[in-house]
Amino acid sequence: MVGRFVISANQLVWTVNNEIDDFVIGWLDKPRTGTLVRCEIRRDTSVTPEAVLDELSDPVTSRFNRTIHVALFREGDFVSPTEAKLIGARLQGFEVVELDFAGIDQVGQGFADDLFRVWAGEHPTSRLVPVNANPAVTAMITAVQA
């Protein structure tokens, strides 16, 4: 529904442009006090709040718990165990979680283990779905699940 989403705090800015399916992380020239969040929705959008809720909510309970898509940040080519813990802390209650590995060349054993073995074991009603994972990432995920 949101065409463009921007959040900035301190000197960091994260912009998600859903109209071109892209995002960018950048730096402000000067630190910002507080946090700025901006969502841009086109006046002529055909997407309604009801359609979004219908797509992402359980039809019986109306809980907003269907699918969440998580794009991963990178530290070089290695996704850290700290990021796994931060991601996992925010996923409780979602039934399906898509983790987007686009642009991630490799993940460490700690990251894969924290999410795909530990977190998944603690949340058996949730399902983690890796998308855009290359063979090296897929192999690491498979190894920790064995």
pLDDT tens per residue, range 46-63: 888 888 777 777 677 766
- Give the chain as a DSSP string: --SEEEEEEEEEEEEEETTTTEEEEEEEEEEEEEEEEEEE--TT----HHHHHHHHB-TTT--B-SEEEEEPP-BTTEE-HHHHHHHHHT-TT-SEEEEE-TT--EE-HHHHHIIIIIIHHH-TT-EEEEES--HHHHHHHHHHH-
Asked if pLDDT for residue 74 goes beyond 70, the answer is no
Asked if pLDDT for residue 88 goes beyond 60, the answer is yes
Give the model's pLDDT for residue 73.
Answer: 58
Q: What is the pTM of this model?
A: 0.58
Asked if pLDDT for residue 108 goes beyond 90, the answer is no
Q: Is 14 exposed, middle or buried (0-12, 13-18, 19+ CB in 10 A)?
A: middle
Please tell me the distance from the alpha carbon of residue 41 to that of residue 2, in angstroms, as a whole number: 5
Looking at domain 48-146, its CATH architecture is 2-Layer Sandwich (3.30)
Q: Contact, 101 vs 128, CB < 8 A? A: no
CA 105 to chain CA centroid, Å, is: 17
Terminal Cα distance for the chain, rounded: 39
| Structural domain boundaries in the chain | 1-45, 48-146
> Lowest-pLDDT range, 43-47, 51-55, 72-76, 142-146?
72-76
Asked if pLDDT for residue 92 goes beyond 70, the answer is yes
